[in-house]
């Protein structure tokens, strides 16, 4: 079940919503012989140009047997799954890969087990077979798995559980100067939340670029106008791309009160549809303007 935490001042589904905050709990699962978790008739087979589908999946609420998901993975993915030391990490990996295969199979009119992936020089995966303009990005943290899928548009998504860590301050020292100043001015009680808000934005942007660790954290700056109603995070500058501020949109979301996420999309994308994996339900349709 989805529990929306959108305030009454925010716009309805068909109006612009620059910053999205959604809480979701107790996702129900539905079985299918050919596609784990999601009945084929509930899956959209069309992905219009300019639209991003953002799929949510809850590991804890999965009821389909583990072996059922494992069956659509290839040999290399099964080997990777076996290398995880913790059962939770193994299950999350298998569910994430299986659900991604099932989604891509529907968008490309293929079969989950036939999907083939390849990586660019920085390690970002893309669809090798079947040949398709469909782009995707995956993230997971804690109980959540998310898939961002678009047609002919780069996307990046990141989600993180907010936690205390003595090492966060040292990580922030690698951020852009303006970001460090912003964090320094943040109240100590809100610092962890502020750090992770900034972190998911930076991660989502880097993942959308497909640059991985080759992209320095201080080579670009994210502006976070916290507390300013109706304003969104944005790329303030990128030393590698002067056009970046005009080329990208960042959308923050909250799977629950202890988890933060961000979706980075090329400005060619005007619509974001949030969908629940396990029912195919369209949760919300967001216009980006």
pLDDT tens, 154-206?
A: 999 999 999 887 788 899 999 999 999 999 999 888 899 999 999 999 999 99
Q: Which of 182, 224, 169, 226 is nearest to 202 (CA)?
A: 224
pLDDT bucket at 11, cuts 50 / 70 / 90 = very low
Element spanning 275, H or E? strand 271-276
pLDDT tens, 94-123?
A: 999 999 999 999 999 999 999 999 999 998
Q: What is the pTM of this model?
A: 0.83
pLDDT in the model for residue 45: 65
For residues 230 and 190, the answer to whether their CB atoms sit within 8 Å is no
- What distances in angstroms separate CA 219 from CA 100, 185, 265, one per listed residue? 31, 21, 19
- Residue ranges of domains in the chain: 2-287
pLDDT in the model for residue 260: 93
What is 2-287's CATH superfamily? 4'-phosphopantetheinyl transferase domain (3.90.470.20)
Percent of the chain beyond pLDDT 70? 82
Average pLDDT over residues 22-28: 30
Neighbours of 169 (CB within 10 A): 13
Element spanning 195, H or E? helix 191-209
Estimate to the nearest angstrom the gap between the alpha carbon of 157 and the chain centroid: 3
Q: Which of 22, 14, 98 is nearest to 64 (CA)?
A: 98
Task: Determine the Cα angle at 161 with ends 157 and 163, to 5°.
Answer: 140
Alpha-carbon distance 244 to 242, whole Å? Answer: 6
- What distances in angstroms separate CA 168 from CA 10, 115, 191, 220, one per listed residue? 32, 38, 10, 19
Element spanning 128, H or E? strand 125-129
């Amino acid at each position: 079940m989805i529990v929306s935490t959108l305030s009454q001042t925010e716009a309805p589904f068909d109006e612009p919503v620059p910053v999205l905050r959604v809480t979701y709990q107790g996702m129900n699962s539905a079985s299918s012989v050919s596609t784990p978790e999601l009945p084929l008739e509930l899956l959209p087979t069309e992905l219009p140009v300019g639209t991003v589908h953002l799929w949510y999946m809850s590991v804890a609420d999965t009821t389909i047997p583990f072996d059922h998901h494992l069956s659509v993975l290839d040999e290399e993915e099964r080997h990777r799954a076996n290398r995880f030391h913790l059962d939770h990490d193994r299950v999350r990996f298998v569910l994430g890969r299986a659900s991604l295969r099932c989604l891509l199979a529907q968008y490309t009119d293929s079969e989950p087990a036939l999907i083939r992936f390849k990586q660019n020089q920085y390690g970002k995966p893309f669809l090798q077979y079947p040949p398709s303009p469909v782009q995707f990005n995956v993230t997971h943290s804690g109980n959540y798995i998310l898939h961002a899928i678009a047609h002919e548009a780069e996307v990046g998504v990141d989600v993180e559980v907010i936690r205390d860590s003595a090492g966060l301050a040292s990580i922030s020292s690698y951020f852009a100067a303006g970001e460090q100043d912003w964090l320094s001015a943040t109240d100590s009680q809100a610092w962890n939340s502020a750090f992770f808000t900034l972190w998911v934005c930076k991660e989502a942007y880097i993942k959308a670029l497909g640059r991985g660790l080759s992209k320095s954290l201080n080579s670009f700056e994210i502006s976070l106008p916290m507390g300013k109603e109706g304003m969104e995070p944005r790329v303030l500058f990128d030393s590698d791309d002067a056009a970046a501020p005009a080329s990208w949109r960042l959308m923050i979301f909250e799977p629950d009160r202890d988890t933060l996420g961000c979706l980075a999309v090329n400005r060619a994308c005007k619509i974001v549809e949030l969908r629940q994996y396990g029912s195919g339900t369209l949760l919300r349709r967001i216009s980006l303007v």
